[in-house]
């Protein structure tokens, strides 16, 4: 019963959020709310909690098996909810099983290497779920919008990213990519809340206002990245993210389904409990 419901829900989600490889992403036409999928907030929040629990159990088996890894990439402009997603989806997992890596401005050392160096170093080892808060995509997003590298260099990166992700996939790491899609109005409200709410003041960064001025450029850069890097081995999902509970419900269900498809197995011991006697 549950399994059938889950398959139906994740299919409904994917029909609406998946960027079909080879097709245009049409980012500008995509909804920033998922009212067509979820109308009952309480039920969605309950489902997210259940899915977070299931993700923990699946992660346990993934670790016991130690043959595959899962990499969850979260991309989105400032205030899109990357941190909140990590909290909602992975809060039941043991801290040993999930490795979260935020990517900020590269250090001198990182800049002295190729752009994928720091990314590859942070990919999860077998048995672990890796979560990227920002990722290699910054190198075709902020870098493109702010002209931090020559256009010809950025141009090559889409294929380099595709080849890198194919390599990860071929060597046992499943890659799930989520773009958290919020509206310009929603971003205004969330930035304003960081000014108005004393407990959120620490999140306010005046530089975010500079990026907000470049909203259209970022949207265009995202659109190109989605168009060119949604592949069969690592497709993009554009998650309507104006409502946090819908965003969490979509991502938790999708991560759970991906782990269930991997179906990690506990290894069978090569001994019998009766072989041992504990004095």
For Mg ion, the binding residues (CB under 5 A) are 78
Question: Strand, helix or coil at 240?
Answer: strand
Least Å distance, CB 78 to ligand AMP, is 6
**Distance (Å, rounded) from C-alpha 204 to C-alpha 36?**
32
Residue with the shortest CB distance to Mg ion:
78
- Verify binding: residue 165, ligand AMP, rule CB under 6 A: no
Residue with the shortest CB distance to ligand AMP:
138
Q: Nearest to residue 89, comparing CAs of 260, 272, 250?
A: 250
**Distance (Å, rounded) from C-alpha 88 to C-alpha 85?**
5
Answer for which of 74, 131, 143, 168 binds ligand AMP (CB under 6 A) is 143
27 in Cβ contact with 271 (< 8 Å): no
**Distance (Å, rounded) from C-alpha 60 to C-alpha 264?**
9
Answer for which of 132, 138, 164, 218 binds ligand AMP (CB under 6 A) is 138
**Burial tier of 150 (Cβ tally within 10 Å: 0-12, 13-18, 19+):** exposed
- For residues 55 and 141, which CB has a smaller minimum distance to ligand AMP in the complex? 141
35 in Cβ contact with 279 (< 8 Å): no
Q: Are strands 69-75 and 173-181 parallel, antiparallel or unpaired?
A: parallel
201 in Cβ contact with 191 (< 8 Å): no
Least Å distance, CB 270 to ligand AMP, is 46
Least Å distance, CB 93 to ligand AMP, is 22
- Verify binding: residue 73, ligand AMP, rule CB under 6 A: no
- For residues 197 and 210, which CB has a smaller minimum distance to ligand AMP in the complex? 210
**Distance (Å, rounded) from C-alpha 34 to C-alpha 68?**
32
**Residue 142 site contact among Mg ion, ligand AMP, none (CB < 5 to 8 Å, cut-off depends on kind):** ligand AMP
Query: Among residue numbers 95 through 134, which ones bind ligand AMP (CB under 6 A)?
Result: 103-106, 134
Least Å distance, CB 74 to Mg ion, is 13
Answer for which of 69, 119, 124, 139 binds ligand AMP (CB under 6 A) is 139
- Of the listed pieces 136-144, 166-174, 238-246, 252-260, which binds ligand AMP according to CB under 6 A? 136-144
Least Å distance, CB 188 to ligand AMP, is 17
- For residues 49 and 146, which CB has a smaller minimum distance to Mg ion in the complex? 146
- Verify binding: residue 142, ligand AMP, rule CB under 6 A: yes
**Residue 134 site contact among Mg ion, ligand AMP, none (CB < 5 to 8 Å, cut-off depends on kind):** ligand AMP
- For residues 126 and 203, which CB has a smaller minimum distance to ligand AMP in the complex? 203
Task: Give contact residues for ligand AMP (rule: CB under 6 A).
Answer: 78, 103-106, 134, 138-139, 142-143, 148
């Amino acid at each position: 019963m549950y399994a059938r419901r889950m398959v139906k829900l994740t299919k409904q989600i994917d029909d609406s959020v998946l960027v079909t490889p080879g097709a245009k992403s049409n980012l500008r036409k995509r909804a920033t709310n998922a009212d067509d999928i979820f109308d009952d907030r309480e039920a969605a929040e309950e489902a997210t909690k259940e899915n977070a629990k299931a993700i923990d159990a699946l992660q346990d088996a993934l670790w016991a098996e130690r043959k595959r890894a899962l990499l969850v990439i979260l991309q989105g402009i400032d205030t899109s909810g990357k941190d909140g997603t990590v909290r909602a989806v992975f809060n039941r997992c043991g801290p040993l099983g999930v490795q979260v890596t935020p990517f900020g401005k590269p250090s001198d050392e990182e800049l002295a290497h190729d752009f994928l160096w720091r990314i590859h170093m942070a990919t999860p080892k077998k048995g672990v779920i890796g979560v990227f808060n920002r990722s290699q995509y910054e190198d075709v997003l902020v870098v493109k919008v702010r002209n931090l590298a020559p256009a010809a260099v950025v141009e090559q990166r889409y294929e380099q990213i595709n080849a890198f992700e194919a390599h990860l996939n071929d060597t046992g790491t499943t890659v799930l990519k989520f773009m958290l899609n919020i509206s310009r109005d929603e971003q205004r409200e969330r930035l304003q809340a960081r000014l108005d709410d004393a407990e959120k003041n620490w999140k306010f960064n005046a530089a975010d206002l500079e990026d907000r001025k470049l909203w259209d450029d970022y949207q265009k850069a995202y659109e190109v990245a989605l168009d060119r890097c949604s592949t069969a081995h690592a497709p993009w999902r554009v998650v309507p993210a104006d409502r946090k509970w819908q965003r969490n419900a979509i991502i938790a269900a999708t991560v759970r389904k991906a782990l269930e498809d991997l179906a990690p197995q506990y290894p069978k011991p090569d001994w019998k409990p009766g072989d041992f006697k504990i004095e």
